[in-house]
Amino acid sequence: MKKLLIVTALLAATGAAHAGKGHTHGVGRLDVVVDGGALSFALELPLDAAVGFERAPKTAAEKAALENAGKLLNDGAALFMPTPAAGCALKSTQVTVPFADGKPASADHADLDAAYVFECASPAALKGFETAVFKHFRRLYRIEAQRVGPASQGAGRLTPKTPSLAW
């Protein structure tokens, strides 16, 4: 529990760097925290990049697209693949889908938010990750990523052609 609180605090701290930056269609944000054997991801995607609209769904097809995006994001192990030698396994997933509960979003621009925590058996072997997010969300063309770890921090840009981040 203590480790989860530390990871949550680190994610909040790295997320503060994103605060104040404008919402841009096609551009997602990713915060990555390495804390001992825990590897955490906090992903924010503009709803438009995921489903093609940023308002409450109006048609059955739009409702299905929103539901499908939520299902895809709930499969964190299929979306994020840490260094295989690290032996990481997905331990928790939390996904927030706007309009899923029938309530309107509170802002003009809606986002999908997802958080994942992996537990790694060999954290010293963890050297990065690859993502399959671009394969599922074709309107997404870039993810701005930041990473915080025990010995260093950094940032990078993920794209469909370069969907991995190494450290």
* Burial of 12 from C-beta contacts in 10 A (0-12 / 13-18 / 19+): exposed
125's CB contacts (< 8 A; 6+ apart) are 83, 85, 86, 87
Integer Cα distance of 73 and 78 in angstroms: 9
Q: What is the pLDDT of residue 136?
A: 96
DSSP 18: H
What is the pTM (predicted TM-score) of this model? 0.84
Q: 20-57: per-residue pLDDT in tens?
A: 455 576 899 999 999 999 999 999 999 999 999 988 89
Walk across the sheet containing 38-46 and list its strands: 88-96, 111-120, 38-46, 27-35, 142-148, 153-158
- Cβ–Cβ under 8 Å, residues 30 and 45: no
> Is residue 150 very low, low, confident or very high in pLDDT (cuts 50, 70, 90)?
confident
The pair of structure tokens assigned to 157 is 């840009």
Mean pLDDT, range 77-100, rounded to an integer = 96
Question: Is the confidence at residue 5, as pLDDT, over 50?
Answer: no
